[in-house]
Structure 1
Amino acid sequence: MSPEMFDELLARVGPRITKQQTWHREPLEPGMKFALTLRHLASGSKYASMKFGWRVPHNTQSFLVREVCQAIIDEYMDEVMICPTTPDGWRTIADKFYEKWNFPHTCGALDGKHVACRCPPETGSMYYNYKGFYSVVLMTLVDADYKFIWADVGGTGSASDAQIYNDSELRECAEDGTIGFPDPDPLPNDYQDVPYFFISDDAIALRPTMMEPYSLRGLTNDEHIFNYRHPGKPIPGSAEYHAASPLHRQGHRQSTHGPAQPDEDQVPRTPEPAARPCREYEPRFHSSCLETGL
């Protein structure tokens, strides 16, 4: 990040994270809070390893990182993550998809991401996913330029993408028509009306407002062409997390907030094979010993 961009971001977020100076002790400077939070998000470093370089205790870091992240959300949410609510807004996204990905009537690409975390107390296997670790699910909807336009954070790791989508407000609004999709119209070089929809991989069921690729078995030539052009693989298949590389790197490390993966000494490990039991010692005497009386 360039110094100019850092100063610009700090100028907007700084007033939200500035503390009043009292006789008790001097508060941390907003620049220190903001730089430390960016370092944690970009590298995924643990608080215990950062406390020596930043001279800030790990327990203080755990509070200020949450504070700065919430300040960033409050400052940039309405400006950066804008979900359209009008037919013109969704049509603009669909036109962009058709221009860049050659797939018409697409209003967004949907996919989920497992973010490693520690297991909350008394939750059993609720946050344990099929990949073998505890996680919360970040489900996002992106446009053709990898920009987030909707997000759902906090799904349990044991829940599938279909379960999280079925319980989301996005599905409810898309199916009851309150989301503001344009009216169905013909595809290019066709005359039959086709509705506007989201795209995803085969984890979410096919719906009038959700398009998925064909199964990989027994595909015809036309179905092969459809799957080749279906943007479910190049866009939502973790591509937006690679585009947002700090978030992607952080997602591969264990989160120190909220639900989390158990410590290494608590992770069940494959038991080592039991040592082969030793046979009882059987004394063997040489015939010469018996002759001499030994």
Structure 2
Amino acid sequence: MDDKKTVVITGANSGLGFECAQNIAHNTEYCIILACRDTMKAEQAKADLIQISGNPHIEAMELDVSSFASIRAFVSKYKELNLPLYGLVCNAGINGTNIGKTSDGFDIVFETNHLGHFLLTNLLLPSMLPSGRIAVVSSDMHDPPGAELTWPGTAAIAGPDETLEGNFVRYSYSKLCNLYFTYELSARLIRIGAGIIINAFNPGLMIDTGFAPDKSRFTESFLQQVSDRIGSLEKSALALSQIITDPYLARATGKYFDRGIEEKRSSSLSYDMENALELWNTSAAYAKLTRGETLQGLLY
């Protein structure tokens, strides 16, 4: 597989991740690693993708992005494969109805949707090709309808108080974190002269996936209110795969794509680089990331 372009996709056993993997797999130039928490589902997804695409270069590896130990174990095993990494799709995520803390002591939504991918990406960067691409799945809910979102600081999101603990807005904050991470990492990669690019993607509200198992809130009235935010699984999965593979997008970095491959503006708040820097520094401390673990000159 040394001559293949290896792409790691988190949460790829179903939904957007699976469909993205399927799109890429049809080109046998690529080797795809399905990085999933549930190994049985990942193995079934692997078998299905091989049958559908005819591409035998698909592997399944265990990865729980809500666990630092799992992330570090995954990266260690990946490095043993000695495969230069071409693409990383940070897709795994959970919605704001999830409550509780991870084994690392952080809010489950914050670590799953942001902090885990922050650590994973930084640890994999030394294995990436100079032409490598990273796609971070965010959401237009980083700018939710209603009252304008304000940034409370990373600590308030990582360890929410009683007021915030069960609030769905934690999902919006985690998706805002995705954008801060994308924009800050893009700027740092440019600063050290690295060719690796990173972009964010909004797939839209996809009511035809298992991301929101409880469909009761998708009433006709609700869907009318969010009609401009609904996404198509087929179209969004295609766009996400193109962000990784399309030659046209080889130089785009630090961009936000909304349900397609045309650049869009994210919220005004998402471009606050003081917030992005605070998130970066706090995330690095939380994840206990050291200078020697990521690209030289990138961490500080």
More helix by share: 2
TM-score scaled by length of structure 2: 0.25
Larger-gyration structure (1/2): 1
TM-score scaled by length of structure 1: 0.26
